Chain A
Amino acid sequence: MAQGLRYHIDLAFCIDVTGSMTPVIDLVKENVRKFPHDVRDALAKKDKVIDTLRIRVIAFRDVASDSDALSASEFFVVEPSTDLARYESFVKGLSASGGGDEPESALEALGIAQASDWTHEGDKQRHIIVMFTDASAHKLEDRVGEVSGSYRDQVPASLDELTDRWEGGQTVRIRKTARRLLIFGPDAYPWNVLADTWGQTVWLQSQAGKGMEDVEYQTILSTIVNSV
């Protein structure tokens, strides 16, 4: 057993819960629900023990057409399993509806995820954002709708600002050495841009109407585990 190193991993799942996700939302929810268990097991096989794994969920629709376009949980401590039941309950409560036509408000969700209260505890941290969507995203610059209440301050006004944050801007707690962005999204703006321009990013291309196959889930899992 490796001695001494304490791994602290924070994960923010950004989940598209618009109507078009209806055929696949249950599968996404199931993957998200079982993720803590799978990541712990996979790391244990590498002789790495997680000290703390926290997960939050940011569900998004479309600020242009939905009043409840953004909904973010706190971080749930799932390893140790302090908040596991609450986490599973939150995930279970997600349902797909609304959203109107493409695009959706995924970049707003990404902004909220970036602004998370990322851990700086332990010897090694990972700050991982995982995006699940089947759609393109509104440009932040277009301001297609009002970001409500407490999220307003967390959403940048432009992609440039969002990018600056990701690349080491000091306005958020995300650490450059710890950050990872995994995108499960279609070949559309902004995913095909972020995959080539943002550091420490992996884009697994999704197909409209198709959920995540097991091999794709395993790829996301192994990418996270191998980067710890």
Chain B
Amino acid sequence: MTDTGPQQTAVASSHMSTDSKFEPWFVTEKRANLGEDANPLFLRGSAVGDVLGVFDGMGGAGSILVPDENEVDKCSMAHLASEWAKRAAASIFNQWGKEELSNLKTQIEAAITEKLLYLTTRPGGKGPEGKLRGTMLSMYPTTVALAVVRPMKDELRQRQLKVLWAGDSRIYALDFSEKIPLQQLTRDHTQSGDGGDGALSRFASADGLELEESDFNLPPSAAVIAMTDGCYGYMSPFRLLYTLVKHLVRSRDEEDWIGRIKKDISAAAGDDTSFAISFGEGGFEECRKQAEKSLDSLEQVAHIQELSPPNPYIVPFEDSAYLKLLINHETRRQNASVGTNAGTDIESASSTLTLADHAVPAPSVTEPGSSVFSAPSNTGGGKEESSDTFPKDELKD
């Protein structure tokens, strides 16, 4: 977490790995050196697979001032929580081999809780002892969103994706075979489940952590993105998608793209931001090639929003085409057990979702994708029903 000076968004984006390869992630801070988003966790080609993680310390609940890491100055609990949660998760992934991921969730939960609990044991680590209390406060609270991508040995060249999260940091798939290429894979732990301004019902803290977990089979070229609410909370889903796609097509290379989207996203954000991406087969170049096909249709409608006053809103998780597939996957499984044909359900779910369903005009040139996206399982968090009605222009609260 670094800064570029007062009165402007502080930006960190070092991204060279030990083998001098550029790592596609960024983090920005609204207040220099007081940011509450950790630098993303980014592992490429490790034994466990590719790993992305973002961690957003919760400034309201974690506002109590405690000694900083060097015990020289004071900082908020939130500031320390995200960084230490990241380190804990990294320590698990660094030890993980090629074994199954079935107990990854419990190990990460334990490691993060242990680290955050340790922070409370430092002198002054609980803040002004006994003077501050309340349901709004937590000891070292932070969101967690993790994605692990592993190759699968199947004919479709699919990849296994495990998603673990608590809070309102998100994992997305960027899949240009979907009509709306940016697909939200996590459901926020807020009252409404779709971002919003209310208290989080799940997050990591010294009191413990219960991650939600989902598993997906990714098509070969789909990228996976992790981001905190600073990235998605201040622009419409369309604007976020358009920002990613526009710069994908126009950038010289991966590093140029990260620089461009960092600039646009942080300029819009009223919060710290952190973002990391793991590209699919063919890497950045393949992703860019696919993005070119989408850009025309997005450009056709982009100017309409440009003419309007800024009106940010949050797409509900329930509107994710991918969730519809997830729900229909469950429906198919259930229907299969009573002898009905559910393959049709999946196709119709995919084809009925268009950008017109969202609060932006529909591009007319994009055909519905025949996605090979599939979802083997979800351990809680998916809604039982989905709504085809998008609450237009409704802001999260």
Identify the A interface with B (CB < 8 A): 1-5, 45-48, 123-125, 175-178, 180, 183, 195-205, 215-216, 219, 222-223, 226-227
Contacts and interface: CB of A to CB of B under 8 A. Distances in A.
B397 A178 contact: yes
A46 B137 contact: no
Contact of A219 (B60, B130, B132, B197): B132
B49 interface: no
A203 B197 contact: no
A19 to B, nearest CB: 25
Interface stretch (B173-181, B265-273, B289-297, B328-336): B265-273
Contact of B191 (A176, A197, A216, A223): A176
Given A45-B31, A48-B270, A215-B128, 10 more contacts: A2-B271, A4-B312, A123-B395, A175-B397, A177-B198, A198-B135, A202-B136, A205-B132, A222-B63, A226-B76
29 contacts: A1-B267, A2-B269, A2-B271, A3-B235, A3-B268, A4-B268, A5-B312, A46-B31, A47-B9, A47-B30, A48-B270, A123-B312, A124-B197, A177-B198, A178-B197, A178-B397, A195-B133, A196-B133, A196-B134, A199-B199, A200-B135, A201-B136, A202-B137, A204-B131, A222-B63, A222-B65, A223-B136, A226-B78, A227-B60
Given A200-B199, A227-B136, A46 B76 contact: no
Contacts of B30: 46-47
Interface in B87-145: 128, 130-137
Nearest to B310: A4
Closest 7 CB pairs of A and B: A2-B270, A4-B310, A227-B60, A177-B198, A202-B134, A226-B59, A226-B63
Nearest to B127: A219
B272 to A, nearest CB: 10
A148 to B, nearest CB: 31
Contacts of B280: none
- Interface residues of B, dominant DSSP: loop
Contacts of A3: 234-235, 267-268, 310, 312
B136 A180 contact: yes
Interface string B151-182: 00000000000000000000000000000000
A28 B314 CA distance: 40
Contact of A204 (B31, B132, B191): B132
B63 A124 contact: no
A52 to B, nearest CB: 16
Contacts of B311: 4
Given A124-B197, A177-B397, A198-B135, A227 B31 contact: no
Contacts of B40: none
A8 to B, nearest CB: 11
B196 interface: yes
Contacts of B270: 2, 5, 46-48
B133 to A, nearest CB: 5
Contacts, number: 101
A2 B271 CA distance: 8
Contacts of B133: 195-196, 202-203, 205
A105 to B, nearest CB: 22
Contacts of A175: 397
B397 A199 contact: no
Contacts of B197: 124, 177-178
A125 B199 contact: no
Interface string B379-397: 0000000000000000101
Nearest to A227: B60
B63 A223 contact: yes
B234 A5 contact: yes
Nearest to A46: B30
Nearest to A124: B197
A176 B192 CA distance: 12
Given A5-B270, A176-B198, A203 B191 contact: no
A43 B357 CA distance: 36
B168 to A, nearest CB: 13
Contacts of B196: 177
Nearest to A216: B131
A196 B132 CA distance: 11
Interface in B196-255: 196-199, 234-235
A200 B349 CA distance: 39
Q: Which of B9, B60, B134 has the most CB of A within 10 A?
A: B134
A79 B70 CA distance: 39
Interface string B1-20: 00000000100000000000
A111 B311 CA distance: 35
Contacts of B136: 180, 199-202, 223, 227
A83 B328 CA distance: 56
A202 B64 CA distance: 11
Nearest to A122: B395
A200 B134 CA distance: 7
Nearest to B58: A226
A205 B130 contact: yes
A58 B131 CA distance: 25
A47 to B, nearest CB: 5
A46 to B, nearest CB: 5
Contacts of B64: 219
Q: Which of A4, A175, A178 has the most CB of B within 10 A?
A: A4
A150 B235 CA distance: 44
Contacts of A183: 134
